[in-house]
Structure 1
Amino acid sequence: MADDQQLWGYTEVAKHLGISVGAARNRRNRGTIPAPDDTSIPDRPRWKPSTFQGWKPLGQGHRSDLHGKPPEPASG
């Protein structure tokens, strides 16, 4: 199978995202990773590697809503 036709299971997705297989399953159940490209085999979703190119998981980066307003500069 050519690289562009290769499909990833939970193991490959987890490795790509740097998480456990269980976490990958949980994220799919919560809908926080892209929908699988192939669901032809029950309980074995598969993704094309290109599905994750340029995709960034939610929650990655700075959460400005957690920090309130920045402090006012001191006058002097």
Structure 2
Amino acid sequence: MAGSERDDDPLIGIAEIAKLAGVARGTISHYRATGRLPPADIMLADRPRWHLSTIRAWMAARPGPGRRAPDTSDDPLLSIPEMAALAGIHRQSIYDLRTRDRFPPPDDAAVRTRPRWRKSTFERWMADRPKPDARATSHGKRVWGQTGISSQEDDQSDPGRRP
């Protein structure tokens, strides 16, 4: 019977989807406009409606709030912490390089506070960047671009020794 079929899989609208997903109605409307929501199962009085099962399947496949779907391409997107780990530098160094325009612009700036770069862009930058003159000091820190340490600086590295 058609009535019992509807009871098992009711039709819902944007407001109900927003409530189920825990987001604002405007977010669901934006998802629909950008193709991130499945097409409506039916139009009733010029308003889109989806079967609850359609929306549950869509929600199960969503990456979730604040999370992105994993990038499975051959050229994945990398975050600043990921690039810093690959380069063996602190992430603040990448922020500093960006400030001084010595780092390429992001390939994905959809989220302003979390820019990402393609792995190929990062690898090109790594290959093209000038290699700093680095060596380890007697107390394990790295000194960039210096050719030596003064004896006074070396004496200060030992806290028990007075100059």
Same-fold call, TM > 0.5? yes
4+ aligned runs moved over 3 Å, structure 1: 58-64
Please identify which structure carries the higher helix content: 2
- Select 2:26's aligned residue among 22, 27, 42: 22
Give me the whole-angstrom Cα distance separating, in 1, the residues matched to 2:19 and 2:62.
Answer: 14
Query: Which deviates more, 28-37 or 64-73?
Result: 64-73
Larger radius of gyration: 2
1:61: how far off? 4.0
- Give the TM-score normalised by the residue count of structure 2: 0.36
RMSD: 2.7
Higher relative contact order (CA 8 A, sep 6+): 1
Cα distance in 2 for partners of 1:62, 1:38 equals 28
Change (3 A) 1:24 1:62: closer
1:48 alignment partner in structure 2:
51
Mapping 1:7-18, distance limit 5 Å: 7-18=11-22
Q: Which runs of 5+ in 2 are unaligned?
A: 1-5, 72-76, 89-163
SS in 2 for 1:51: helix
Q: What's the % identity of the aligned pairs?
A: 31
Shift of 1:26: 1.2
Structure with bigger strand share is 2
Which sections of structure 1, spanning at least 5 residues, go unmatched? none
Q: 2:78 aligns to what?
A: 66
